Structure 1
């Protein structure tokens, strides 16, 4: 953000909110090599990807002295750099045990970068309760070694039964952590046990600031089962279930992990028209640390629908509906007897058209 000061008190006088302003630049360089192999009854590939990530995050330091004048004190530009290189091997192999039975094994090292909001060098505070949330420009990415073993049985036309087990050795993940930090605020009702006066209504105060940090690592292991079965004359069903047992090395829960989730879909399809009705469920899960307290989500469910009509070979009309039963998302702190937020997002409908040239 660029700021050009004008005369204080004039109509066009503007100032930067330093703790809410930042710029992030990210460069990623990558290369990969892959080789395929096959033999009687088996096939697969082995690969290697190397990725270099270079991040630069620019923000502002308040009250350091000698910087640009601002109502919150002098502000000085500050730059954080974070660079890392990941070597990501992978291996995949499939064994054809018979014409309708395939066993697959896969192993890979994987990574995913944090989103920009998490690495932003900024903080947003709530002075009334002396808490705040901010970013961390020194974050490392999510990293894991993952292993998957599955068996696929194609027991009839358009039918399949799949069973898979997985294990993820989580090397690094992101979780929020709350620490006490000094923040400069303007208030007429300071808590003098937390705040010291600077001048007028400007104070330095101790805030409980929540920022993302890299977790200590952990593991996620579980089971997946899926089935697809035509029923009659274009009608059919699909169903899948996942059991996911995830824990950090220190015993904490992994953010975003539901132990149980499943989906049940009924479908109809012919050359002209297709439609699906899906019921989705996930059990309760730990969201993260939010405003210095644990945030959890209660179990959630949704009934969704979609339809597509082929007007011609090149034109299709589509319609989608999300949350037909108007479910409410419920969040709580620690136990469900301590609700934190209820979200009623309502039913959402989409219509559209697809053109192929």
Structure 2
């Protein structure tokens, strides 16, 4: 069917297809996958034979119809990467409390021992590519140029056929990680609702399990953009079963004043020093198979050998104004502001003379100039609250300055991506009918905020727009009841 994308982005953005409609499959693929699959197979069959000379599919086919899938599953052996982790920990703690004059002192001293054993099974899998034969390469229609693969020397073409034979080599990686993690916490409570807190600790944060998978699904790019100096190369992103947890040394201190049963003013400061921070490593590595060797650009998660630091403070205030005359005594405010100064770590990347860097396909931005991932320098939240009798209302605005979304984009040139400053206004209004029933309405993103991301271009941190997301306003009518 033809789709003209009516009301694209509410009419606020020109159509990416211009004034023309585009052909799209019209049925719901989630409801009737078989019909969609049969349609896609028929399109491929009109173009060329479904299977190549080796008997395996050369067109699109459903996963389960591929050659060499594991019996009873739609997956190839190299697509199954089991990771087994065993975590053990022991913790001892000593608590103390007592009076020092008018102050009430309490706290604890603790020590945790943690050990993790990881075993990741996987494969080093070479591609299975049906390259053109030398006889086919010799046939060049008049007025046309040979394909990039056929333009390679006969020796390189022969090596590519040897290398991309679909070989799969099983591998197993094992790692052990052991840590002693001390902690200390102190609270001093003073008369008048004033109290002080101090904390010091060492902690570890394990990596996402998906980053530790053991797999090398290699590729070989024989298109023009994959050939340099007469040699094709590959590009692959892999896991790292030896990826270590990120260690952190933490110092926290706060002053808290509880001036009323429904009011407080707080100030907290913090400092963190991080080691073994997970980042990306990009390198061009040689891989040999069947007597042939080609370079592959490999990007893998790794632990930085440099330290990252986070420091900052937070101010918080909350109070219900119950001293006001009725019905205003139900109003309240909850507000806080935090300042976070973070310093990231560099990621290992290619040299400036690498052909992919020279061609603009791989960035060399120094990520140590950027903040740590996910941390905004400025964060502010303000909520106006009303709680009185059967009425419960809330209007909250949350805002944060720009922050690093990822150090590596998923598309060329794999640059760092920032999420630009954004804020959102939400609200709710509820009425309690009786102790067992409450009705109300909730509104999310009332200002219809658009989320924007940007790409970091260079070490001067010049940015350009990457993507825009219109999230829409959302209204929900709610009925809560208990029986």
Per the normalisation by structure 2, the TM-score is: 0.60
Give the match for residue 298 of structure 2.
209
Query: 2:339 aligned with 1:339, yes or no?
Result: no
Q: For the pair shown, which has the larger CA radius of gyration, 1 or 2?
A: 2
Of 427, 435, 440, the match for 1:305: 427
Residue 117 of structure 1, CA deviation? 1.6
Per-residue CA distance 1:264-298 (angstroms, 9 max, x = gap): 11112246453332211111122312343222221
Report the more deviating stretch, 309-318 or 209-218.
Answer: 309-318
Correspondence for 1:32 among 64, 69, 91: 91
Alpha carbons of 1:76 and 1:208: their partners in 2 closer, same or farther (altered >3 Å)?
closer
Question: Does 1:241 pair with 2:337?
Answer: yes
- Which moves more between the two structures, 175-184 or 93-102? 175-184
The match for 2:398 among 276, 280, 293 is 280
Distance 1:56 1:283, change over 3 A: same
Give 1:353 shift: 7.1
Instruction: Measure, in 2, the Cα distance between the counterparts of 1:120 and 1:156.
Output: 52
Q: Pairwise mapping of residues 1-357 of structure 1 onto structure 2 (< 5 A)?
A: 14-16=67-69, 17=76, 20-40=79-99, 41-63=104-126, 73-122=166-215, 131-181=235-285, 206-215=295-304, 216-231=306-321, 232-248=328-344, 251-253=368-370, 254-270=372-388, 272-286=390-404, 287-291=406-410, 292-306=414-428, 313=435, 321-334=443-456, 337-347=463-473
Q: Where do 5+ consecutive residues of structure 1 fail to align? A: 1-6, 65-70, 185-196
Structure with bigger RCO (C-alpha 8 Å, 6+ apart): 1
More helix by share: 2
The answer on whether the counterparts of 1:94 and 1:105 sit within 8 Å (CA) in structure 2 is: yes
What are the superposed Cα offsets for residues 141-187 of structure 1, whole Å, 9 maximum, x if unpaired? 12101010100011223111100111111122212232224689xxx
Give me the whole-angstrom Cα distance separating, in 1, the residues matched to 2:462 and 2:480.
44
**Structure-2 separation of matches of 1:318 and 1:119:** 45
CA distance in 2, matches of 1:352, 1:24: 42
Shift of 1:138: 1.1
Q: How far has the Cα of 1:256 moved from its partner?
A: 2.0
Once the two structures are superposed, residues 64-114 of structure 1 have per-residue CA deviations (whole angstroms, 9 ceiling, x without a partner) of 9xxxxxx85221221111211122211111111223100110111111111
Given that 2:445 and 2:474 are in contact with CA atoms closer than 8 Å, whether structure 1 keeps it comes out as yes
Q: Partner of 1:99: helix, strand, or coil? A: helix
> What secondary structure, in the 3-state scheme, does the structure 1 residue paired with 2:338 have?
strand
Distance in 2 separating the partners of 1:349 and 1:123: 46
Superposition RMSD in Å: 3.4
* Consecutive unaligned residues in structure 2, runs of 5 or more: 1-53, 58-63, 70-75, 128-163, 226-233, 322-327, 347-367
The count of residues paired between Structure 1 and Structure 2 equals 329
SS of aligned partner of 1:50: strand
Aligned to 1:289, the other structure's residue is in SS state: coil
Q: 2 CA distance for matches of 1:267 and 1:167?
A: 32
Partner secondary structure for residue 293 of structure 1: coil
Larger strand proportion of the pair: 1
